[in-house]
Amino acid sequence: MRVNTLKRVAVAFALALPGAAIATVVAAPAAHADGCYTWNRDLYQGRSGEDVRQLQIRVAGWAAYRDIVQVDGIYGPETAAAVRRFQSAYGLRADGIAGPQTFAKIYDLQDNDCTPKHFSYTELDNGCGKGGWSGGPLSSTATRENAVRTMWKLEALRRSLGDTPLYVNSAFRSIACNQQVGGASDSQHLYGTAADVVSRSRSLCQVAKSARSHGFSGIFGPGYPGHSDHVHVDSRRENNRDRSSNTTTWSAPNCGVS
C-alpha cells in the first residue's frame, strides 16, 4: 500500500474523532508522495545532488541509441534528453525539466520498495532458485542496487514494446550458481547488472533491437551462441567493479544487431 493511500485512511479516521483530535491529526506534516523516494524540487540542467541521482536511476532506460545515462548526480544534457524521452513516452510535456508531472508518473510506476511496478526483486535474485543477493563478487547491498537500475531499464524497454510483458529467465547469479549454469567467468549476471528476457507477444529480434535505445551496453540474442531462445541485456559499460573493459558489445546477428 502506498503512503499516500495511508494518508487518506488517516484523514478519514481523523474525521471520526472529536474536534480537538481532528485539529491534532490534520496539523501533522503531510505524508510523502511515495514510500520509496520523494522529490521536493524541480530538477533541470545545472542542478546536482542525491535527488538528481535518484532521478537518473529511474530514467536510465531512456538513454539515446547506443548511449547510457551516467548516474552521477549531475543534471547534464544526457539526463535532460533522457527525461524528455521519458516524458514523451508517457504523454507528458517533453521539456526535459523534471517537475510535478514527471515525478507523479514515476510515483505511479514505482513500488514502495523502489522497484518499477512491472518487475520485482524476486524476479531478479539468485538464478538457481535459492533467492537472495549474496554469493557474488559485490556486497548484497551493491548487487541489489545494481538490480534496481536493471529493472528500471527493463521497465523502459517494456514500455517501448507497447507495454507488453517481459519475462526474466535469469538475472543475478551467485558465483556458485554461475558456475553451475556454465556462465562466463566474469558474467554481468554476477553483479546484478544483467537479465535474460523473453516476450510472448514480441519477437526476440524486436526485443534485441529495441534494447539498443534503452541504456543496455551488452545485448546478445538470436544468432549469438547459446542465445536462440532469449535476449541477454546488461550494463557492462557502467560496471566499474568487474574485470572487463567498459565497452558496448552487441551481438544478435540474426536480428541485424551488432
Q: Note the pLDDT tens digit of each residue in 115-130.
A: 999 999 999 997 898 8
Q: How far apart are CA 203 and CA 104, in angstroms?
A: 32
pLDDT surpassing 60 at residue 26: no
- Given a contact cutoff of 8 angstroms between Cβ atoms, the answer to whether 178 and 187 are in contact is yes
Q: Note the pLDDT tens digit of each residue in 196-232.
A: 999 999 999 999 999 999 999 999 999 999 999 999 9
Does the annotation mark 227 as catalytic? Answer: yes
Q: Note the pLDDT tens digit of each residue in 58-107.
A: 999 999 999 999 999 999 999 999 999 999 999 999 999 999 999 999 99
Give start and end residues of each alpha helix (H) in the chain.
3-15, 19-26, 50-59, 77-89, 100-109, 121-124, 140-160, 175-181, 204-211
- 3-class DSSP state for residue 56? helix
pLDDT surpassing 80 at residue 236: yes
Q: Which of 189, 227, 230, 232 is catalytic?
A: 227
pLDDT surpassing 50 at residue 8: no
